[in-house]
Structure 1
Amino acid sequence: MHVVVLGAGYAGLTLTRLLERTLPEGVDITLVDESPDHLVQHELHRVIRRPELAGEITVSLPAALDRATVRVARVEGIDRDERVVTLSDGDLEYDLAAICLGAQTAFYGLEGVFEYGTPLKRLSHASRIRRRALAVCRRDDARIVVGGAGLSGVQVAGELAALAREEGSTASVTILEQLDRVAPGFPAHFQRAVERTLEDAGVEVRTGATVVEADAERITLESGERVPYDQFVWTGGIRGSDALAGDRPTVDGDLRLDEHTFALGDAARVVDADGDAVPASAQSAVREARTAAENISRLVDARSTGSDPLVPHLETFSFDSPGWLVSVGDDAVAQVGPAVFTGRPAKALKTTVGVGYLSSIGGIRNAAELVYRDAISPGRV
């Protein structure tokens, strides 16, 4: 039997490591990703200001795995009827598959936004944002604009404001959000704390500001206002992988697309066992991977004993977040239960969570380096 995991983000790598422990030795496991390394996406914004962190937030896939085969290739298509994945280097057949391809930045067809707005999904994006920021910070009264005030946009804006201060620049940083609150979709008291922390960091927060187009110098809002900029970063939303034609298919709590295929992480819109939409986040992806691993194991057991593969009772995923964390430059905002806090306790918790995740995927050395760099970095715990 052959189990294939497509994508090595939070969901894909966590799932593969769990399957290595739970599936019989006779079951082949293949993990496919276009990179040989796993990227710790929630720390990517920090590379804008601290490029030396790039090595600490990437983990070699072969080093993180015990028995799974790593195939470095781009997923170009999935034929679920034939159970064949089309890769950039050939085809791959499967008995069971998990689609964990993550999401891409959505530009919504807005004229000029793709051409002029830099996303933040890869190390190369962080490097590009840093180079541009350093260049514009040398100008008088430079203007940096971040489109989208989800957690990624908040973290980018915070890093850029801190970088400008470190460079002794007068550059302004503005974040635009079309809804009436930053961190849309999160609890109201967390949103308020994030907005205050952004403002304390020197970021101008503009909500109710819907971007409709951009050119090389200005961003046009739905109101007709034109916002001038010297640097434009776009974090305004997500879409599915090209292999899924940009779609993020909806799956219920058992995470099944069909009897042979699962979808989880940012690649899918997950509706949990309580009927609630699950937010696209690292913690959601990791926890969904545990449910997917259990269900794949049950299906493998049923097939190995000759049982009807539709018979096993499958586990259903329920999402009940213990809290949320977001960095804002040299500060952070944390929510644990009903309590929201900032400053040193929030920063310490953010570091602890990051180190815990790296340790869980076998990045012990990376985790140690991250703690060391946090300890010696100005403004950090």
Structure 2
Amino acid sequence: MRVAVLGAGYAGLVLAQRLERRLPPAVDIVVVDESPTHLVQHEVHRVIRRPSVTDALTLPLRDALDRAELVTERVERVDADAGFAELADGTELDYDFGAICLGSETNFHDLPGVEAHALPLKRVHHAEAIRTQFLDVCESGGTAVVGGAGLSGVQTAGELAALARERNASDRVDVVLLEQFDSVTPAFPENFQQAVHDELAARDVEIRTNTPVQRAEADSIELAEGTLPYDLFVWTGGIRGADAMGGERPLVRNDLRLSERTFVVGDAARAVDADGESVPASASAAIREAGTVARNLERLVTRELDGDGTDFAPRLKPYRFEVPGWIVSVGDGAVAQVGPTVVTGAAAKAMKTTVGAGYLSSVKAVEKATELVEAELNE
């Protein structure tokens, strides 16, 4: 029997590790990812200001897995009903049960010129490109624009403003954060939104809400109220599904299945939990979803191996979205929400450091966790 995990981001890596512990040795586990390394993506904005942190944020997948077969290749197409994946090298991978954990890509929403002229922030090389271009802006002066004020956009704007200060360029560099809705971090509670707004403003980030981008040229962005010239344009304005999923994020049932044999986990899906609530795309949700899917796959595999001859499928566990809170970096600061309480300052920054290091420790990367803590404390 073969169980395939397609993608090794947060959802895929955590799921694969749990399957290694839960499934019997007779079951082959295959993990497919286009990269040989796992990226702690929610911290990739750090690379804009601290390139040296890259090593702490990248974990060789082979070091993180015990017995799973690792295939380093891009997934081109998935047939969830047939239990089939086609890889970029032409390999056809059949599986008895599988999980699509391919994450998401930047959504440019077909806005004219935006994909052609804006830099996304999904990979280390994106952060490096943003840094290189922004250092030129710091030298000559100009405007850096970040489109989209979700968590990623807030963190990017905060890093750019902090880097400008470090380069003694704050007086000649403007960092502008655009958001089409009426607040930053619009998907979060009002007290969190206000705290994030205040942290950004304190770091001289210009915030423009109710300001959707209409189109982009090589050196300017067209807004409803006029044209905004820029020297650097970063786009964090949403996500779409992976190319292997036709760019779609399919809606999955609350047990996270797309078909009888295939689950979709993390950002790759739009999930509705056991309480009927939409699950936000986030690292914390992906990690917790992986735990639910690991238990459900164990039940399905056990039934197949036992071969009890009945037609009754095992009852699968529904996923319930429960996280203790949210946290976002804003340059050298941070904002955290724990229950109804919002925390800022040193306490929030310590929480942010703990979250990243705790995740790395949980996936058997204790040395990387230590590196990350040291990098954060030395800022």
C-alpha separation in 2, matches of 1:366 and 1:320? 27
C-alpha separation in 2, matches of 1:309 and 1:79? 24
1:306-356 per-position Cα deviation (integer Å, ceiling 9, x unaligned): 145752010001112210000000000000111101110000011011110
The amino acid that maps onto 1:269 is R
Shift of 1:80: 2.7
1:206 corresponding residue in structure 2: 208
Aligned pair 1:364/2:366, yes or no? yes
1:122 corresponding residue in structure 2: 123
Shift of 1:81: 3.6
2:242 corresponding residue in structure 1: 241
1:255 corresponding residue in structure 2: 256
Give the alignment of 1:345-360 within 5 angstroms. 345-360=347-362
Aligned pair 1:138/2:139, yes or no? yes
The amino acid that maps onto 2:331 is G
Alignment CA distance shift 1:139-1:26 (3 Å): same
Aligned pair 1:24/2:9, yes or no? no
Is the Cα–Cα contact under 8 Å of residues 158 and 328 in structure 1 kept in the other structure? yes
2:319 corresponding residue in structure 1: 317
Is the Cα–Cα contact under 8 Å of residues 81 and 260 in structure 2 kept in the other structure? no
C-alpha separation in 2, matches of 1:252 and 1:337? 27
Aligned pair 1:184/2:186, yes or no? yes
2:48 corresponding residue in structure 1: 48
The amino acid that maps onto 2:260 is E
C-alpha separation in 1, matches of 2:378 and 2:147? 31
For residue 257 of structure 1, give the secondary structure of its aligned residue in structure 2. coil
Is the Cα–Cα contact under 8 Å of residues 181 and 210 in structure 2 kept in the other structure? yes
- RMSD in angstroms over aligned alpha carbons? 0.9
For residue 256 of structure 1, give the secondary structure of its aligned residue in structure 2. coil
For residue 175 of structure 1, give the secondary structure of its aligned residue in structure 2. strand
2:276 corresponding residue in structure 1: 275
Shift of 1:88: 1.1
C-alpha separation in 1, matches of 2:186 and 2:312? 38
C-alpha separation in 1, matches of 2:80 and 2:377? 48
The amino acid that maps onto 1:359 is S
Is the Cα–Cα contact under 8 Å of residues 299 and 309 in structure 1 kept in the other structure? no
Is the Cα–Cα contact under 8 Å of residues 251 and 263 in structure 1 kept in the other structure? yes
1:96-115 per-position Cα deviation (integer Å, ceiling 9, x unaligned): 01000000000011111001
Alignment CA distance shift 1:309-1:284 (3 Å): farther
For residue 44 of structure 2, give the secondary structure of its aligned residue in structure 1. helix
Shift of 1:38: 0.3
1:85-139 per-position Cα deviation (integer Å, ceiling 9, x unaligned): 0001211110001000000000011111001110000111000000000011111
C-alpha separation in 1, matches of 2:287 and 2:25? 24
2:335 corresponding residue in structure 1: 333
Shift of 1:185: 1.0
Shift of 1:83: 1.8
TM-score (norm 2): 0.97
Is the Cα–Cα contact under 8 Å of residues 6 and 100 in structure 1 kept in the other structure? yes
1:61-81 per-position Cα deviation (integer Å, ceiling 9, x unaligned): 010011111100000001234
C-alpha separation in 1, matches of 2:301 and 2:56? 36
1:242-300 per-position Cα deviation (integer Å, ceiling 9, x unaligned): 00110000012100011100001000001000000000000000000000000000000
Name segments (4+ residues, structure 1) moved above 3 Å.
307-310
TM-score (norm 1): 0.97
For residue 182 of structure 1, give the secondary structure of its aligned residue in structure 2. coil
In structure 2, stretches of 5+ residues that fail to align are: none
Is the Cα–Cα contact under 8 Å of residues 250 and 270 in structure 2 kept in the other structure? yes
Is the Cα–Cα contact under 8 Å of residues 149 and 177 in structure 1 kept in the other structure? yes
1:195 corresponding residue in structure 2: 197
For residue 99 of structure 2, give the secondary structure of its aligned residue in structure 1. strand
The amino acid that maps onto 1:101 is L
**Percent identical across equivalent pairs?**
56
2:218 corresponds to which of 212, 216, 232: 216
For residue 18 of structure 1, give the secondary structure of its aligned residue in structure 2. helix
For residue 110 of structure 2, give the secondary structure of its aligned residue in structure 1. coil
Is the Cα–Cα contact under 8 Å of residues 87 and 93 in structure 2 kept in the other structure? yes
C-alpha separation in 2, matches of 1:186 and 1:214? 28
C-alpha separation in 2, matches of 1:83 and 1:256? 13
1:28-78 per-position Cα deviation (integer Å, ceiling 9, x unaligned): 001100000000001100000000000000001010011111100000001
Is the Cα–Cα contact under 8 Å of residues 259 and 310 in structure 1 kept in the other structure? no
For residue 300 of structure 1, give the secondary structure of its aligned residue in structure 2. helix
Alignment CA distance shift 1:295-1:232 (3 Å): same
For residue 294 of structure 2, give the secondary structure of its aligned residue in structure 1. helix
In structure 1, stretches of 5+ residues that fail to align are: none
